[in-house]
Copies of this chain bind each other. A is one copy, B any other.
Amino acid sequence: MQVLAVGAHPDDVELGCGATLLRHVARGDQVTILVLTAGQRGRLDGMSRQAEQQDAAARLGVELRWGGFTDGSIPDGPETITVIDEVVAATGAQILYTHATHDTHQDHRATATASVAAGRRLPTVLQFETPSSQHFEPTIYVDVAETIEDKLAALRSHLSQVLRQGPVDLEAIEAQARFRGFQGRLRYAEAFEAARLSWDLASPASVMAPALAFAATG
């Protein structure tokens, strides 16, 4: 299957759904990530966020494409939709991951809006959270117990962001996966809102067995 994940800046896709993409790769899906800007505003002296993103993509085992927009100024209209449309067409993507719609960062919002528009013909569009998400109410959980470590490793590729402390706070990211797992009755999970999920009941097994005994409080 063909999978596309769209993020505003280098590291956004890894933060939002990196461990899920690793699950796709592990089962043989073709995964492409489209990063809309080069993240110029978050640069540290002498460090290339593009090189970091290339390194992270290599670690994930995914193809990397660039959108060519300016950090801080991603439009949410036809220019961006067209760029994503073309990647959807070129890759034949059937699943699209992107930012959640409510986010205080204008680039995240614009990316979400344009991606959901570009995904208008796709049966499945899932939206991930970021540290600046608002009103995020996930209902879809993916078990990432086997890939959380590799996600954290891929995030370390974004060394400039780790050094800036805040954007990529690895400890907080792991806590988030642990908390989302707790909510999803799993040990570690990435959580998503569904713009639309076409759930396939043609293939034999598409829901996982409960991986963790869970007992309600009280």
Q: Is the CB of A182 within 8 A of B176?
A: yes
Cβ–Cβ contact A194 & B139, under 8 A: yes
A42-B218, A182-B172, A197-B140 as given contacts; A206 in contact with B209, CB under 8 Å: no
A65 an interface residue at 8 Å Cβ cutoff? no
Say which size band chain A's interface belongs to.
35 or more
Of the candidates B23, B135, B141, which one forms a contact with A197 in the assembled complex, judged by CB atoms under 8 Å apart? Answer: B141
Q: A94: which of B20, B42, B195, B207 is its contact (CB, 8 Å)? A: B207
- Contact indicator A203/B204 (Cβ below 8 Å): yes
Residues on the B chain within 8 Å of A213, using CB: 121, 165-166
Contact at B171–A123, with CB atoms within 8 Å? no
Q: How far does the alpha carbon of A18 sit from the alpha carbon of B123 in the complex, in Å?
A: 21
Q: What residue of chain B has the Cβ atom nearest to residue A39's Cβ?
A: B218
Alpha-carbon separation in the docked complex, A197 to B27 (Å): 20
Please give the residue numbers on chain A whose beta carbons come within 8 Å of chain B beta carbons, in ascending order. 1, 8-9, 11-12, 15, 20, 23-24, 26-28, 37, 39, 41-42, 71-73, 76-78, 81, 94-95, 104-108, 113, 116-117, 119-124, 130-132, 134-135, 137, 139-143, 161, 164-169, 171-172, 174-176, 178-179, 181-186, 192-211, 213-218
- Known pairs A27-B204, A76-B106, A198-B207 / 18 extra A-B pairs, C-beta < 8 Å: A11-B217, A15-B217, A23-B202, A72-B218, A81-B106, A105-B120, A105-B218, A131-B182, A131-B216, A140-B194, A165-B215, A166-B214, A167-B217, A168-B217, A184-B196, A194-B194, A203-B205, A203-B206
* 7 closest A-B pairs by CB: A166-B215, A206-B206, A9-B218, A175-B178, A23-B201, A139-B194, A175-B175
